[in-house]
Amino acid sequence: MARTEVIMPQMGESIAEGTIVKWYKKVGDRIRKDETILEISTDKVDSEIPSPAAGILVEILIKEQQTVPVRTVLAYIDAEGMGDGSHGPVVESPRPAAVPEPPPVQRDAAPREALPHRGRFYSPLVLNIARTEGVGMEDLERIPGTGEGGRVSKNDILRYVAARGSKPAAPHAGGAADARPPLPGNEILPMSNVMQKMAEHMVQSVRTSPHVSAVHEVDMSAVLRHRMEHTKAFEAANGFKLTFTPYIVDAVVKAIKKYPLINSSLDGDKIIRKSSINIGLAVAAENGLLVPVVRHAEAMNFLGLARAVNDLVVRTRNRKLVPDDVQGGTFTISNYGIFGTMIGTPIINQPQIAILGTGAVVKRPVVIADAIAIRSMAYFTLSFDHRIVDGALGGMFLAEIVRVLEELDPDMKA
């Protein structure tokens, strides 16, 4: 019979393994080609995986919440009408074999390996294993990492647990509260992998960068007029609505071209100024906050930016992103104004050095040429890394964004 393998995909160059979050089909179900068959989670993003063929799902080899390397066979599909009516059982994957001793300490490891709580990254999988096995953060910091950049991998922590006999570590001083059972009536909600990764990333960012925030007021009236004049024709021609976001992205790109140091990262005592402008957009999705990236925004006109923004937002909310979509950003925009928030102080998305937060656009009375007028106003906040960006550069960059939006060309093609 014709049998097709369902394989754990390679969801990005740096992705080595994935976790089965949910099977949408069970053994015996008929499946159409490209129909969603399962959802997987990696360190970068959760993704729905389409079926590689039409047929009947005859065997599931890897159960939900199990983690396996990329290119592992997850299930088998038989072509419709070709099977013999029998379906294979759900088979559990074997547990990793225990290793008697942990690997030797790497003498050439980066200094951060010996310094606890200094921005070291841990994947959601490693943190879950640590919680299950009673491995505290101080113990976790001491485990030599063999993963990319010295990160602790699944096998590293499993070797550590096996070497100590899988016995929970004694609680550290001040950690007794963690062992208390939940109070009666309280609901315990597990964090998704994406939420865990975001929490980890935000804590690391605050530890790494001295954050400074600057707030400017921007008159969005010119943007609002342009949008209202073009919204119907734009939607008819492109199939989606014209929002404020592409206007803001366009202004940020123009401001970065004028002040390119904002488009940098810091590597030790070296500043790396990026040649491409890759704009990350913070998008609230069902499974947490994701930041897909508009790549090479410097090469796009306004219409190109609008299409790229819409594509990323739609795929984020439909869980169609792949890990490469959320990597490589050089500057991030967080539009918390859609929730009615007026002013915020966003956290920098490492290893970037600045992030723009945009507040709600509301009508307010303002003084213009010694007269009171009603204008559509918003507050924009720039959070920046004070190791590289001083108050003068941060203020000038933010002022340039404001200028571009307030002096918007009324004839700009949308």
| Catalytic residue positions, numbered | 386, 390
Q: Which two tokens stand for residue 43?
A: 């360190």
Phi-psi region of 71 (alpha: psi -120 to 50; beta: other; left: phi over 0): left
Return the bridge partners of 47, or none: 40
Secondary structure of residue 344 in the 3-state scheme: coil
Q: 353-378 as b/e, with b when 16 or more CB fall inside 10 Å?
A: bbbbbbbbbeeeeeeeeeeeeebbbb
Closest CA to 44 of 387, 307, 288, 336: 288
Burial label, 233 (beta-carbon count in 10 A; 0-12, 13-18, 19+): exposed
Here the tokens at position 326 are 């959320």
Which residues are CB-contacts of 253 (< 8 A; sequence separation ≥ 6)? 277, 279, 297, 298, 300, 305
Q: Contacts from 141-148 at CB under 8 Å and sequence distance 24+?
A: 141/115, 141/116, 141/117, 142/116, 143/102, 144/102, 144/103, 144/104, 144/105, 144/106, 144/109, 144/113, 145/109, 145/113, 146/103, 147/16, 148/14
Tokens of 275: 């040649």
Structure tokens at 200: 């980890």
* Token pair in block for residue 317: 């909310």
Question: How big is the CA angle at 337 (ends 331 and 341), to the nearest 5 degrees?
Answer: 120
- In the numeric block, which tokens belong to residue 190? 């597990």
